[in-house]
C-alpha cells in the first residue's frame, strides 16, 4: 500500500470505483493470506502489509494471516479444487 497523499482526488475516486466490484465479491468472505519470510524482510513492507489487513477488515473481508505452511496450504487447495491467487 502506498501513501495516497500524492494521488489526485480524481485518481483516488477512479481507483476506488475500480476496486469496488472486487470488494463486493469478497464481502463477508474469509480469505487466507500466507505471509512468508520473504515478505517480512523490510520494515516498510510490514507496515504496508498491516495497513492492507486493516483495510480488508474495514471493507467487510475477514483476513486470516498464516506464516509458513506453504506446501500444506498448496496440497489442501489442490484437494479442494481451489485455485491459488497471487
Q: What digits encode the pLDDT tens for the residues 38-62? A: 777 777 888 889 999 999 999 999 9
Distance, CA of 23 to CA of 35 (rounded, Å): 21
Which residues span the domain enclosing 71?
29-86
Counting the structural domains of the chain, the total is: 1
Residue 71: predicted pLDDT: 81
| In-domain check, residue 8 | no
Which residue ranges in the chain fall short of pLDDT 50?
1
| In-domain check, residue 50 | yes
Distance, CA of 68 to CA of 21 (rounded, Å): 30
Taking CA atoms, 66 is separated from 2, 7, 79, in Å, by 23, 32, 19
| In-domain check, residue 2 | no
Helix (H) / strand (E) element for 66: namely: strand 62-66
Amino acid at each position: 500500500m502506498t501513501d495516497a497523499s500524492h494521488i489526485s482526488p480524481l485518481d483516488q475516486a477512479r481507483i476506488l470505483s475500480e476496486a469496488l466490484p472486487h470488494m463486493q465479491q469478497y464481502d463477508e468472505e474469509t480469505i487466507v493470506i500466507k505471509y512468508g519470510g520473504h515478505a517480512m524482510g523490510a520494515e516498510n513492507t510490514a507496515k504496508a502489509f498491516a495497513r492492507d489487513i486493516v483495510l480488508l477488515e474495514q471493507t467487510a473481508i475477514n483476513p486470516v494471516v498464516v506464516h509458513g505452511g506453504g506446501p500444506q496450504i498448496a496440497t489442501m487447495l489442490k484437494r479442494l479444487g481451489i485455485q491459488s491467487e497471487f
